[in-house]
Structure 1
Amino acid sequence: MTACLLVVAKAPVAGLAKTRLGRVIGDEWAARLAAAALLDTLDAVLATPDTIPVVALTGRLAAAERSGELADTLTSCTVFSQQGTDFAGRLAHAHRSVGSLFPGVPVFQIGMDTPQLRPPMLTGAVARLRADGTDAVLGPAEDGGWWGLGLRAPADAEALRAVPMSRSDTGLRTLSALRRRGLRVRPLATLSDVDTMADALRVAALAPESRFGRAVEELRPAEAVR
């Protein structure tokens, strides 16, 4: 196995998932888009060869949109609950947990906001992480955050605890924190994640055949009357 692919995810429950998007399109539709994005992400992870699929999950899956599909898909993954008092802490704990479960295996972590990801992109990220002279890879997001983080040594995710999340400078602060730890960091391609309706339309256009693309297309009539 070349790496663990770690998905840090929230159960797509209406009113709890994608709340910023929910204020625009309604909580139920926001949860539907989140469910579609998570399913697309899991499909990509499970189709990526020579990797171990792992999911750090929070929230009640039984109350989520498309809960049956998600439960079936998650049977093919190692799943554990997120722990921590804030998002940075939960990320650090998730990496540490994967390191304990699969000692000596690098970890590449993503969220559920980039349903346009495909197996070749994940394979490329893992290859870059395993290249000589690389300790970490970081995929910046267009909003200033980041969409992917790979670490040769999962314990180095402790650097995240000092990084404020969900800010326009989170990506730069994460890069600085990793470098202060002495890590040699290589960049990945910049991607758009989904926080707003404009993001959703842009990402859906990149993958119209995906669950997410179809869900956005189904939303358009409802969105038009708002």
Structure 2
Amino acid sequence: MNQNSSTCIIIFAKFPAAGKAKTRLQPELGVAGAARMARKLLLHSTRQARATGFTVELCVSPAPSDSCWQTLDLPKSLHWSAQADGDLGLRMLTASQNALKKFEKILLIGSDCPALTATKIHSAAQQLETQNSVMIPAFDGGYVLFGFKKAYASLFADIKWSTASVASITQQRIKDLNWSLALLAPLPDIDEPEDLQYLPVGWLDGVNVSDNSY
């Protein structure tokens, strides 16, 4: 089995609905602008993941059968799954365990990091040839990418998600498993108004800054 067919990227995503997506960016971008930014980030993450040549699974809320997803014109080559019930950790564990029934290597990513390119994802996957796990931390203390070949509940349980301790706690859990870890250079997530400085040039074009209309 070659690396492309043995590796699955799972993108965790919620539908970028106005009023519910990227709410922390609303003071800067407005309700509609924050939703457009969420949509742009999701489409970017999907493009970069597909460009690796790996299998890409979009693990979503609401379920893939919801008609809202048809509005995004996403590629038909994507694999789809519904997020499980429970907190983010349980959802990631469930999706990972299901994917490991078919694939040797799993890369979990979100849809918040425009700096996460196909090249960086591919480099992370290559680390799993010799390492038990790989992580790209986020500037805010979370992680942008987490890859592994086995999924244990301890990697995801009893963690306060969206806090500055997520990456460090996960790294300790990895150490407790006696796993090796390839720790790659951190990247910025786009969650808060101060994160907008990390957007690529032109990304705010078409996003009506301070437009609070819906």
TM-score, normalised on structure 2?
A: 0.87
**Amino acid across the alignment from 1:53:** V
Query: Are 1:91 and 1:157, in contact at CA under 8 Å, matched by a contact in 2?
Result: no
Query: Paired residue for 2:205?
Result: 217
Question: What CA distance in whole angstroms lies between the structure 1 residues aligned with 2:96 and 2:6?
Answer: 16
Let me know the Cα RMSD of the aligned residues. 2.1
Gaps of 5+ in 2: none
Identity of aligned residues (%): 24
Query: Are 1:138 and 1:146, in contact at CA under 8 Å, matched by a contact in 2?
Result: yes
Query: Paired residue for 1:194?
Result: 190
Deviations 1:139-163 (A, max 9, x none): 111011111000012x235521132
Q: How does 1:25-44 map to 2 (within 5 A)?
A: 25-44=29-48
Larger relative CO (CA 8 A, sep 6+): 1 or 2? 2
Question: What CA distance in whole angstroms lies between the structure 1 residues aligned with 2:74 and 2:191?
Answer: 26
Gaps of 5+ in 1: none
More helix by share: 1
**Amino acid across the alignment from 1:164:** K
Query: Paired residue for 2:132?
Result: 135
TM-score, normalised on structure 1?
A: 0.83
Query: Paired residue for 1:78?
Result: 79
Q: Give the match's secondary structure for 2:157.
A: helix
Query: Are 2:133 and 2:179, in contact at CA under 8 Å, matched by a contact in 1?
Result: yes
Query: Are 2:115 and 2:188, in contact at CA under 8 Å, matched by a contact in 1?
Result: no
Q: How does 1:91-170 map to 2 (within 5 A)?
A: 91-100=92-101, 102-103=102-103, 105-130=104-129, 132=130, 134-153=131-150, 155-156=151-152, 158-170=154-166
Query: Are 2:136 and 2:143, in contact at CA under 8 Å, matched by a contact in 1?
Result: yes
**Inter-CA distance 26–63: structure 2 relative to 1 (3 Å threshold):** farther
Q: Give the match's secondary structure for 2:19.
A: coil
Question: What CA distance in whole angstroms lies between the structure 1 residues aligned with 2:112 and 2:183?
Answer: 19
Query: Paired residue for 2:9?
Result: 5
